[in-house]
A = this chain, B = another copy of it.
Amino acid sequence: MRNAAETRDKLLETATGLIWQSNYSSVGVNEICKQAGVTKGAFYHHFDTKADLYVAASRHYWEGMKRDLDAIYSPAYTPLEQLENLIQLIIQKQISECICRDLEVAGCPFFTAGGQAGIDDIKIRRAAQEMEEHVQKYSVALVRGLKGEGVLNGDPDIEQVARFLHHFIQGLLVYGRLMNSLDAVRADLREGLYRLIDLKDEYRIAESEQPYSKASDAA
């Protein structure tokens, strides 16, 4: 009974990290255990299968992301500020998540893994779908706020535009990861989102006048 929760968390985070820098099927249980400093007996004491660990890690990861999203979508901010917060968060996350790794862009390991899962890996797929549903709610709220504020052109389908954001962000992050270039993400993120939500020109922020400097790592 010596520190069960800590062992579990260590496994969760180690697994997330390893899956992050490669992918689900190429990361072995042995490797996870070794890096987590945990024996296999302990592993299978906490999780029935490797897939179950994955699902747990996915939820664990979402909890952290939920905190971030709650923060940037706080009612303390206007919808426009929330949008800006989102842009900054995406960039910032790539930096923080890639610390101690050799990647410039991480993306979301669980989402991409879910998109690559075969029909057989139902658990993996469901985990990604679950996260997708969660994040979609936040995006809908953002777009609804923007629309309510009257900063969008036309009369868009809110849920559809929310999906647009998601598609684009995911695609961009995969691209950024493929090219191993965070600058590639920076170059396209803002303008792409602006176009997808069709933000009125007068509310757009030019790339040259970004609020924070790129290197504001100060925690």
Measured CB to CB, the residues of A under 8 A from B are: 21-23, 25-26, 102-103, 107, 111-121, 125, 128-129, 132, 160, 163-164, 166-172, 174-175, 177-180, 187-188, 191-192, 195-196, 198
CB–CB B166/A168 < 8 A: no
Secondary structure dominating the interface of A: helix
- Taking CB atoms, residues of chain B closer than 8 Å to A121 are 22
Given contacts A21-B118, A132-B178, A174-B174, 8 further A-B contacts (CB under 8 A): A21-B119, A22-B116, A22-B118, A111-B178, A167-B175, A167-B188, A167-B192, A195-B196
CB–CB A129/B164 < 8 A: no
- In whole Å, how far is A98's beta carbon from the nearest beta carbon of chain B? 11
User: Which residue in B22, B114, B167, B188 is a CB contact (below 8 Å) of A171?
Assistant: B167
User: Which residue in B164, B172, B178 is a CB contact (below 8 Å) of A128?
Assistant: B178
10 smallest CB-CB distances across A and B, nearest first, come from A171-B171, A167-B171, A115-B174, A25-B26, A22-B118, A170-B171, A167-B172, A23-B116, A115-B178, A25-B25
CB–CB A115/B107 < 8 A: yes
By beta carbon, the residue of chain B nearest A107 is B115
Taken together as a complex, chains A and B put the C-alpha atoms of A26 and B26 apart, in Å, by 7
- Taking CB atoms, residues of chain B closer than 8 Å to A125 are 178, 180
**Can you offer 22 A-B residue contacts whose CB atoms are under 8 A?**
A22-B25, A22-B118, A23-B25, A26-B26, A26-B118, A112-B112, A112-B115, A115-B174, A125-B178, A128-B178, A129-B178, A163-B175, A163-B188, A164-B191, A166-B171, A167-B175, A168-B168, A170-B174, A170-B175, A174-B174, A192-B196, A196-B196
